[in-house]
Amino acid sequence: MMDFLNGMDDMRTAHRPPHPLSRAAILGLAILSMLGCQPSARPLQSSASSATTPLSEDLPAQARQIILNGLTDADPQIRANAIEVVASTRELGLMPKVQKLLTDKVVPVRFAAAVAIGDLAYAPAKDEVGPLLNDPNPNVQLAAFYAISKLGQPELYQEICKAVASNDQTVRANAALLLGKSGNKDGIRFLYWTLQRDDSSDMVVLQAAESIAMLGDPRIYRKLWTGLISKYADDRVISVRAMGALGTDEAKSAIITMLDDPVPEVRVTAAEQLGKLGDFGGEAEVLAVFEKNLPADMDTQGQQRIKTLAALAIGEVAAERPAKYLPQLLQDPSKVVRLAAAKAVLRRAMKKP
């Protein structure tokens, strides 16, 4: 799981407990702790060629190699991140490598692999995902239920519905996540039920609200709005992503207001979500990461966070000016940043006519 940092001041004091195993390991849903450091006015120090090189035909090949390396990395977080990138970019050619990770020794990796198989309804892995129904970890079992329900046994969806009543908060949150990913609106009533339970933890409530948004229920708007004004920057990031999933005109207007958030990570996340909705009004916030060198006064983890979020935003904001920074992000020292940049390259390729 991605570490949370201490030290946020005034409005940004304290942050939520770590979120379910799937969320902290996966780039597309990562919950990132915010420092809110003051930006530097100095431009990002890098070679002129790396900052201005236009996108070339070689970038997709570079991106796929980075993902392939990630799938075999010694760090389980990197393996899980790479799996998510494969699923979100629909790189079916890499799914045999993901399939092999169903037997990984680390729980979040097995979880991510099974979820990816469900997301892509990857039939060649059906026989291998089956044994995970008896995995010793209940979260992995849930991911297997999800995958097999997508591969022709929809009755297993009910097992996920039951799991939102688990006494284990991580299981409950991951069940909520998978209900949202399922696309089945029958899950909405189960999500509201667990959202309103007195014994649901913060991570369950936030995930349930986001999953309701993923299923397109506009009644959740008011709950998401309260997240946008939370003192926790983590909550604001989650709520911006949830508003993006909801995708209504009202939700889009709410995201636009977050372009003025005091924390740069929130602003960049807002730009990403607007990009997903076809609005590139957050382009300036993405460019500011590089042109104002926002990472300059951050520690190593802070730099990784802001560059990761910027890369993900570039993948959704179809404007060309931010895209010129992808070559340097593909060569960043951080494997997480490189994976985010690889995802951005392939997401942009998916959007081309």
Instruction: Write the DSSP assignment of 119-166 as a string of letters.
Output: HTT-GGGHHHHGGGGG-SSHHHHHHHHHHHHHTT-GGGHHHHHHHTT-
Distances (CA, A) of 273 to 20, 175, 309, 328, 344: 22, 24, 11, 23, 13
What pLDDT shows up at residue 248? Answer: 97
> What would the two tokens of residue 174 be?
């991951």
What pLDDT shows up at residue 18? Answer: 43
Of 177, 181, 186, residue with least CA distance to 209: 177
**pTM of this prediction?**
0.85
Structure letter (DSSP) for residue 17: P
Angle at 141 between CA 162 and CA 119, to 5 degrees: 90
What pLDDT shows up at residue 263? Answer: 95
The values of phi and psi at residue 56, to 5°, are: -125, 170
Estimate to the nearest angstrom the gap between the alpha carbon of 245 and the chain centroid. Answer: 12
pLDDT mean for each 10 residues of the chain (353 residues): 26 39 39 29 35 60 97 97 98 98 98 98 96 97 98 96 96 98 97 96 95 98 96 94 98 98 97 96 96 90 95 94 96 97 96 77
What pLDDT shows up at residue 203? Answer: 93
What pLDDT shows up at residue 319? Answer: 86
Structure letter (DSSP) for residue 42: S
Q: How many angstroms separate the CA atoms of 287 and 186, rounded?
A: 41
Residue boundaries of the structural domains of the chain? 217-353
What pLDDT shows up at residue 91? Answer: 97
Q: How many angstroms separate the CA atoms of 169 and 268, rounded?
A: 30
What pLDDT shows up at residue 105? Answer: 97
Residue linked to tokens 């709410």:
254
Other beta carbons within 10 angstroms of residue 308's beta carbon come to: 27
226-231, Cβ contacts within 8 angstroms, sequence gap of 24 or more? 228/254, 228/257, 228/258, 231/11, 231/12, 231/13, 231/14
What pLDDT shows up at residue 60? Answer: 95
H/E stretch holding 309: helix 300-316
CA dihedral 9, 10, 12, 18 (to 10 degrees): 70
257: helix, strand or coil: helix
